[in-house]
Amino acid sequence: MPRWKLSTEFTFDSAHYIQDYDGPCGRIHGHTYRVLVEATADRLYPSEHTPHPSMVADFKTLKWAKKDVTQGGLDHALLNDILPEGYHTTAELIAQYIHDETKRRVPDGVKLKVTVWETPTSWVEYEDD
């Protein structure tokens, strides 16, 4: 059976604080988040930009979080004000949020893995079967 794996990487700058954290991370601070989105599928799909089944997912769709907060992304946002209730702003839950929001935007048969670097040496991976 054929299988395609598509990967795209981007960054965005945002601020956050970890609610009820006893230490410096409990104060507002910023990061340049680096994100890797990997999408796999055993068939190709159309997208909002092409009616032909010729891609796993559109790169534009996978990079939605890179957009400015005023355009529906996460760039230059205070993440505590953007993420829904239940998503504290730890790297783990930021990765889950990006995964969940991306999953809503791609065809049902596409599997996703999201990696988020909060610093150059600290990252988290999230995928959901």
Give the HSE-up count for residue 38: Cα atoms under 13 Å, Cβ half-sphere: 12
**5 class by beta-carbon count within 10 Å (0-12 exposed, 13-18 middle, 19+ buried):** exposed
Q: By C-alpha distance, which of 34, 10, 41 is closest to 103?
A: 41
Q: Which positions are catalytic?
A: 25, 76, 118
Task: Please calculate the CA angle 36-18-114 and round it to the nearest 5 degrees.
Answer: 15
Cα–Cα distance measured from residue 88 to residue 80, given in angstroms and rounded to the nearest whole number: 7
Region of residue 6 (phi > 0: left; psi between -120 and 50: alpha; otherwise: beta): beta
